[in-house]
Amino acid sequence: MMKVLVTGAAGFIGSSIVKSLLKQNYEVIGLDCINSYYDTTLKYARIAEVGILQKDIKENKKIASTVYPAYQFIKLDLTDRINMKLLFDTERFDIVINMAAQAGVRYSLENPYAYVESNILGFLNILENCRYHKIKQLIYASSSSIYGANAHLPFVESDMTDMPVSIYAATKKSDELMAYSYSKVFGLPTTGVRFFTVYGPWGRPDMAPFLFMQSILEGRPIQVFNYGKLSRDFTYIDDIVDGIMCLLNNPSVEDVPYRVYNIGNSKPVQLLDFISIMENVTGRKAIKQMVEMQPGDVYCTYADISRMKNDFGYTPLVSVEEGISRFYNWYKVFYEKKLCRVD
């Protein structure tokens, strides 16, 4: 049985990957520091879905799932060099999927140190341990943010990515550069994945789809940046996970085993249209507060996914309309008590 380490296992994408791996009978270790960047209640609820109970969690201690015999979880920070090395020494992973990161474009302008520590120093610890333990493949989260203010649409992996417009994007570009170095110098197979605006059940509460849904249902105003003149390549979580699964047992076989892929829906949606779909799904009108463009923001994101299609036959399957409907159905259940106070 292949053993996989998933970092960021209490996060949105990481927790979804863990579920998919367990359903496909992989042995999995999930790792997360469970920081307080956003409400930890949601993070603990995600890992409870796979049998990890909050009351059992202790720092630097592996605990077994009450649901999946092949799953263990450890609360550990990527920047902890000693305990990260100990984990790799004892577990002998085959594949590492690094989804742990300090996320959020706008917050990176307020607290850049958190991004450098987690996204660069933490990632360096991942690279070093993968190098010394001969990992078969490291798959890691990059971001569509690294395209910056690129005017060429759709975004292609070969486009220039040397002008990020946020500290977050700069750290993700740094990850790709470090990964290339480890692939070139040490022969470590690395695959970077540039995600495009991921949404869906268990999503991050600091991102627009979650904030919009919450505000519409609670009757509060939505801040619509750049007066709605923005487009995003909203990508449903299941399509993101399917993309990762395509990569899992297919490391690069090039002389320098380094590569990056876009994973997105490849169908950008205007922000006002996205809000309109939410209104139709929920049966409620949004209170729109039009505001200026924010620092670190870009006008449009649009993934060219030809490389994923050509290499793996990858095709995203969930439309924005269907994805928002599924997200709404989850949200109603998860926040049922809160919604009852509004209705």
Residue 246 in contact with residue 24, Cβ under 8 Å?
Answer: no
- The structural domains of the chain, with segments of one domain joined by +, span 3-200+235-263, 208-232+266-302+318-342
Strands in the chain per DSSP E = 3-7, 27-32, 63-64, 71-75, 95-98, 137-141, 190-195, 198-199, 221-225, 231-232, 235-236, 258-263, 269-270, 287-291
Band of the pLDDT at 111, cuts 50, 70, 90?
confident
> CA-CA-CA-CA torsion for 214, 298, 264, 236, nearest 10 degrees?
0
Band of the pLDDT at 107, cuts 50, 70, 90?
low
pLDDT of residue 340: 42
pLDDT of residue 106: 64
Residue 160: count of CB within 10 angstroms of its CB: 9
> What residue type is 216 in one-letter code?
I
> What does pLDDT average to over the chain?
93
pLDDT of residue 133: 97
Higher-scoring residue by pLDDT: 61, 339: 61
Question: Residue 82 pLDDT more than 90?
Answer: yes
CA 77/CA 62 separation, integer angstroms:
13
Q: Which residues pair with 6 in a beta bridge?
A: 30, 97
- Domain made up of 208-232+266-302+318-342: CATH architecture: Alpha-Beta Complex (3.90)
pLDDT of residue 56: 97
Question: Residue 166 pLDDT more than 90?
Answer: no
246 CB-near residues (< 8 Å, 6+ apart):
308, 311, 312, 313, 314
pLDDT of residue 292: 87
Give the Å distances, CA to CA, from 25 to 6, 28, 69, 140.
14, 9, 10, 21
CA 301/CA 149 separation, integer angstroms:
9
The mean pLDDT of 239-267, rounded to a whole number, is 97
DSSP code for 116: I
The mean pLDDT of 132-145, rounded to a whole number, is 96
Question: Residue 28 pLDDT more than 80?
Answer: yes
- Give DSSP secondary structure letters for 77-95: -TT-HHHHHHHHHHH--SE
CA 122/CA 179 separation, integer angstroms:
13
Question: Residue 38 pLDDT more than 50?
Answer: yes
* Domain 3-200+235-263 identical in fold to domain 208-232+266-302+318-342: no
Question: Residue 11 pLDDT more than 80?
Answer: yes
pLDDT of residue 42: 95
The answer to which of 148-162, 198-212, 230-244, 329-343 has the lowest mean pLDDT is: 329-343
Residue 224 in contact with residue 289, Cβ under 8 Å?
Answer: yes
pLDDT of residue 343: 36
Largest CA distance in the chain: 60
CATH code, residues 3-200+235-263: 3.40.50.720
The answer to which of 221-225, 259-263, 296-300 has the lowest mean pLDDT is: 296-300
Residue 274 in contact with residue 202, Cβ under 8 Å?
Answer: no
Question: Residue 339 pLDDT more than 60?
Answer: no
Catalytic residues: 168
> What residue type is 41 in one-letter code?
T
Structure tokens at 171: 């750290």
Residue 143 in contact with residue 195, Cβ under 8 Å?
Answer: yes
Question: Residue 146 pLDDT more than 90?
Answer: yes
pLDDT of residue 341: 40
pLDDT in tens, 296-338: 678 899 999 999 999 999 999 999 999 999 999 999 999 875 4
Question: Residue 109 pLDDT more than 60?
Answer: yes
The DSSP bridge pattern shows strands 269-270 and 231-232 to be antiparallel
pTM: 0.94
pLDDT of residue 108: 66
Alpha-carbon dihedral sign for residues 315, 316, 321, 322? positive
CA 336/CA 243 separation, integer angstroms:
31
pLDDT of residue 312: 97
Higher-scoring residue by pLDDT: 111, 210: 210
The mean pLDDT of 164-188, rounded to a whole number, is 94
